[in-house]
């Protein structure tokens, strides 16, 4: 009897501890419920309706999904634009790793350089986009003025259908350098030095040490950067709105999120359709993330 009473007392104390924990966590839990899960569920319901944001909803089943998959060529164009723009992720990762390798050395002024490369990551994307819009200007932009000094005629960066997307990729690479560089730098600093010492004894050269030791050792960080960067790139919006407005031309640089925003903004009975596109984007991101997790088993190495 005494043993049972003791167990009940422990059980009551444990329950009280749980209740206190949930009480302290309740503001966050309520916030997540009200501002995340409820809107997500609501958007899923709206995606099956024809709704303009004002009038009564009309349930239309899967019509919005059928329309965007089979009757809306602009949707597929924006998907391609988004994937094309997301190629900046791989360029940015490669350049960031090279910068991190250089800035991991104990050289004079290295802290200053680290700070300068990281500053863009903490700046407002609105401010930096406006700055780059001026730099991309065909007539008086800084890039073309610099090329002019070299005797090169600069291209119409964001005012040409040929150059607009490469310009956005250049801007994305610049914007992602600082944050990725810091992560790679931290990973490089954590690599066990004894591996390199053993490789030196075996006579390994610089490239062998990089591909056989450095890359496998920092692969978890590389995987993290890859996942988060792709998810961010698939939701890219602000830069395109400010720099190109989805142009030049018709939907030349319109990303999927920009297209979703256009349908929400117009309020012409397209809120339900935009919600369907948002869910399709979520499914695409989920598939890409799952693929990366599955493929990571072959190249990500945890010590």
- 26-83 confidence digits (pLDDT tens): 888 888 888 888 888 999 999 999 887 777 888 898 999 999 999 999 999 999 999 9
Rounded CA gap, 174 and 129, in Å? 11
Whether residue 87 has pLDDT greater than 70: yes
Phi, psi values for residue 96, rounded to 5°: -60, -40
Q: Which residues contact 135 (CB under 8 A, 6 or more apart)?
A: 141, 142, 143
pLDDT at 52: 79
3-state secondary structure of 120: helix
Domain 64-299 belongs to what topology? MetI-like fold (1.10.3720)
Give the helix/strand (H/E) hosting 252.
none
When mean pLDDT is compared over 100-114, 193-207, 275-289, the highest value belongs to 275-289
Predicted TM-score of the model (pTM): 0.86
Report the alpha-carbon distance of residue 49 to residue 46 in Å, rounded: 5
Per-domain boundaries in the chain: 2-46, 64-299
């Amino acid at each position: 009897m005494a043993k049972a009473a003791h167990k009940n007392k422990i059980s009551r104390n444990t329950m009280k501890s749980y209740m206190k924990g949930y009480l302290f966590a309740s503001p966050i839990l309520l916030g997540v419920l009200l501002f995340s899960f409820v809107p997500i569920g609501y958007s899923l319901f709206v995606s099956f309706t024809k709704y303009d944001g004002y009038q009564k909803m009309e349930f239309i089943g899967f019509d919005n999904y059928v329309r965007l998959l089979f009757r809306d060529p602009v949707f597929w164009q924006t998907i391609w634009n988004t994937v094309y723009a997301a190629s900046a992720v791989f360029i940015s990762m490669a350049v960031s790793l090279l910068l991190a390798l250089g800035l991991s050395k104990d050289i004079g002024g290295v802290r200053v350089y680290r700070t300068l490369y990281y500053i863009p990551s903490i700046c407002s994307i609105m401010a930096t986009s406006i700055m780059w819009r001026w730099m991309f200007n065909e007539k008086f932009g800084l890039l073309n003025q610099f090329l002019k000094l070299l005797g090169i005629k600069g291209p119409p960066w964001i005012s040409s259908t040929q150059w607009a997307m490469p310009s956005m990729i250049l801007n994305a690479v610049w914007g992602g350098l600082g944050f990725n560089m810091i992560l790679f730098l931290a990973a490089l600093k954590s690599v066990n030095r004894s591996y390199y010492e053993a490789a030196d004894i075996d006579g390994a050269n610089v490239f062998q040490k990089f591909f056989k030791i450095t890359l496998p050792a920092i692969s978890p960080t590389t995987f993290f950067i890859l996942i988060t960067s792709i998810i961010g790139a698939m939701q890219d919006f602000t830069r395109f709105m400010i720099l190109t407005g989805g142009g030049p031309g018709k939907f030349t640089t319109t990303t999927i999120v920009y297209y979703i925003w256009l349908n929400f903004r117009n309020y012409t009975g397209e809120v339900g359709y935009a919600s369907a596109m948002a869910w399709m984007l979520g499914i695409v991101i989920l598939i890409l993330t799952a693929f990366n997790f599955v493929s990571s088993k072959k190249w990500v190495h945890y010590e």
